[in-house]
Amino acid sequence: MPELPEVETTRRGIAPYLEGQRVSRVIVRDRRLRWPIPEDLDVRLSGQRIESVTRRAKYLLLTAEAGTLISHLGMSGNLRLVPIDTPVAKHEHVDIELESGLALRYTDPRRFGAMLWSTEPLLHELLVKLGPEPLTELFDGDRLFTLSRGKSMAVKPFIMDNAVVVGVGNIYATEALFAAGIDPRREAGSISRARYLELSLQIKRILAHAIERGGTTLRDFVGGDGQPGYFQQELFVYGRGGEFCKTCGSTLREVKLGQRASVYCPKCQR
């Protein structure tokens, strides 16, 4: 599933080709996403100039003169720019054609993503209750410490709660907890302020690094396969259950937390 760095990489890849461009038409081949694509999307967006391409959590916001297209990549979706006359393959559900001759093409084999329209996107029910962005000053260790008091839930699902902070998905929660030396099974309310300060710093560092790594292949979003470079990032623990710890050599263990697989080092994390 695309996480925040992958969505931010997508935003950076498509924004230069969309901002300032006018939409000539919208082709919807299949409206059956997680929520149905509005039937009047073509009417609302055609002829509109795209003013900005921003991100809130894992939602991409394409803001035009009359409103905003809210897009989510779901579990398997991607957005890439192709020439308008590029043949359509299976699972390519939407084309937003631009007067420049390019089309923003949305592909989603599982159809679990979203394309919705709003005139007040930050007040939309999907966005209004979201927590702060992790790479801003609104998120820090003090926030984690304050919100965690009295909570018996494990720390990993706690930091993955979008009301606490957005964008810390399974991969990056696993990696950040390892970097901070915190056992993902620990009760959120039992962790000290000092350790939360370290955890918040590691979350910021790892997310920023992942975004930077993805940014090395922005050219892939134009005429390519749309796959950024985040698959190549070095992972210390995620997906490595049963393998050796790169830091101490111990065998990494895997457990289920909040219905998600979580890998940790029994020696490095406490």
What separation in angstroms does the CA of 12 have from each of 34, 84, 143, 161, 219?
25, 21, 28, 25, 10
Q: Point out the residues that are catalytic.
A: 2-3, 58, 260
Residue 204 and residue 244: Cα distance in Å, rounded?
A: 25
CB 178 within 8 A of CB 265: yes
Place of tokens 């698959």: 231
Which regions of the chain does DSSP assign to beta strands (E)? 23-28, 50-56, 59-64, 68-72, 78-83, 92-98, 102-107, 114-118, 253-257, 260-264
Nearest to 23 by CA among 45, 4, 55: 45
* Nearest-angstrom CA–CA distance, 59 and 64: 16
User: What residues does 49 pair with on adjacent strands?
Assistant: 22
Dmax (CA) for the chain in angstroms is 59
- Ligand-binding site membership of 93 (annotated): no
Has 91 been labeled as part of a binding site?
A: yes
151 in a labelled binding site:
yes
**Helix extents (H) in 132-169:** 141-148, 155-159
Annotated binding site for DNA: 91, 110, 151
Give the residue numbers of the binding site: 91, 110, 151
